[in-house]
């Protein structure tokens, strides 16, 4: 889920079958998220439609693989439709509770899918969009790709399996991405292992045409890999995060977010000062509570299975609408649009370790 997925006012109750397009061509099931005006933000009905198609195709021997993409030129998927979740909570409905349960189940389906899934990550891939693609076997980025888990900007935490895939990025890079919410481009996505292939967006049409005429010789996964190898590359030069890696590994291994910001502010070395100051400034705009919970969640997630990571995220979800900063974040961004959220607590200095720890109480004991 992410702030940038929030512009659509359409409730998931209003979703139509046309918001997910499904087509089978040459033994490949194609699924297209079709809300381009809303950056293909996910509604509950879209989640259900995706799940239904994937379940049906898993049992269909005539389907060899699945391709996921987003309609339009701006986004694969910019997250979840947070306005509908806000409205659900405010009206006392259960849609916001059902959404997370079913969205996470869909993400797990993709992680465990018995047939190869090819995700075409053109444009924004944020929040819930990352949840859809990180379980795919073949993740393709383009020069237009912008990947992020920016939930802390709206007072939330990186979910949809973020507690699993972020802390498994080398060093502290995933901790940095989750706590800061920054966007990365294709070179960094490949460097971090959040994508597998780079293909210029102008070649996506050629790839689609060749998928329609692909001759199946080997395993479906191998056949798709061979096709991609003819058009795409797996590394790009000059990934910005590679140069920043020593600094990120140092600062984002510190005990807590206040320590991270304090140490960033203390940097005087010329070649690191600008990045350190910019990062500290950014962190101080985010929800202190969301960053604190995110840091703890990601560090726990390093040692949990995929299923347990999703269970931990649901454990946090069940408390977050009442005790977290999401409702205030959505109010400031979407409802009143003052862009001045009143976080609770308002500053990192006022964030206590006990407040962060309280969100995790009962998780281990419940066996989740």
Which residue numbers are catalytic?
A: 80, 128, 151, 159
* Residues forming a β-bridge with 144: none
Q: Which value, to the nearest 10 degrees, does the dihedral of the CA atoms of residues 22, 76, 101, 288 take?
A: -170
> What is the rounded distance in angstroms from the CA atom of residue 154 to the CA atom of residue 287?
7
In sequence order, which residues have a C-beta less than 8 Å from that of residue 313 and are 6 or more positions away? 100, 104, 157, 159, 160, 161, 162, 163, 297
Return d(Cα 57, Cα 115) in angstroms, integer: 9
User: What is each CA distance from 249 to 14, 76, 154, 274, in whole angstroms?
Assistant: 45, 30, 25, 17
| End-to-end CA separation in angstroms for the chain | 22
3-state secondary structure at position 241: helix
Q: Which helix (H) or strand (E) holds 128?
A: helix 128-133
Contact (Cβ atoms closer than 8 angstroms) between residue 117 and residue 31: no
Decide: 27 and 65 in contact? Cβ < 8 Å.
yes
- Return the exposure string of 142-156: e unless at least 16 CB atoms fall within 10 Å of the residue's CB, then b: bebbbbbbbbbbbbb
Residues of the chain by 3-state class (helix, strand, coil), percent to 5: 50, 10, 35
**How far is 113 from 92, CA to CA, in rounded Å?**
35
Between CA 254 and CA 263, with CA 259 as vertex, the angle to 5 degrees is: 90
* Cβ-contact 121, 70 below 8 angstroms: no
């Amino acid at each position: 889920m992410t702030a940038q997925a929030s512009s659509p006012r359409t409730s998931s109750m209003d979703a139509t079958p046309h918001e997910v397009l499904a087509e089978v061509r040459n033994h490949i099931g194609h699924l297209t998220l079709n809300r381009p005006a809303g950056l293909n933000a996910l509604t509950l009905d879209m989640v259900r439609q995706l799940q239904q198609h994937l379940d049906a195709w898993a049992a269909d021997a005539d389907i060899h693989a699945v391709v996921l993409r987003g309609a339009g030129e701006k986004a694969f998927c910019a997250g979840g439709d947070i306005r509908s979740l806000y409205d659900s909570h405010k009206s006392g409905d259960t849609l916001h509770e059902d959404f997370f349960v079913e969205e996470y189940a869909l993400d797990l389906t993709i992680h465990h899918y018995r047939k190869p899934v090819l995700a075409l990550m053109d444009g924004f891939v944020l929040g819930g969009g990352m949840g859809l693609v990180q379980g795919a076997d073949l993740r393709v980025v383009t020069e237009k790709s912008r990947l992020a888990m920016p939930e802390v900007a709206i007072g939330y935490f990186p979910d949809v399996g973020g507690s699993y895939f972020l802390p498994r990025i080398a060093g502290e890079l995933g901790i940095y991405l989750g706590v800061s919410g920054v966007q990365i481009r294709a070179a960094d996505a490949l460097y971090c292992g959040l994508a597998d292939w780079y293909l210029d967006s102008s070649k996506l049409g050629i790839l689609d045409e060749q998928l329609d005429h692909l001759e199946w010789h080997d395993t479906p996964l191998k056949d798709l890999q061979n096709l991609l190898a003819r058009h795409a590359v797996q590394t790009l030069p000059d990934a910005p995060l590679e140069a920043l890696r020593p600094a990120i590994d140092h600062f984002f291994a510190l005990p807590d977010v206040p320590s991270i910001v304090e140490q960033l502010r203390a940097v005087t070395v010329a070649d690191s000062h600008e990045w350190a100051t910019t990062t500290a400034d950014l962190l101080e705009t985010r929800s202190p509570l969301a960053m604190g919970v995110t840091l703890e969640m990601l560090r726990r997630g390093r040692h949990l299975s995929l299923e347990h990571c999703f269970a931990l995220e649901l454990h946090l979800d069940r408390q977050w609408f009442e005790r977290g900063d999401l409702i205030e974040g959505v109010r400031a961004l979407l409802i009143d649009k003052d862009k001045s959220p009143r976080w609770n607590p308002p500053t990192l200095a006022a964030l206590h370790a006990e407040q962060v720890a309280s969100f995790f109480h009962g998780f281990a004991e419940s066996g989740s």
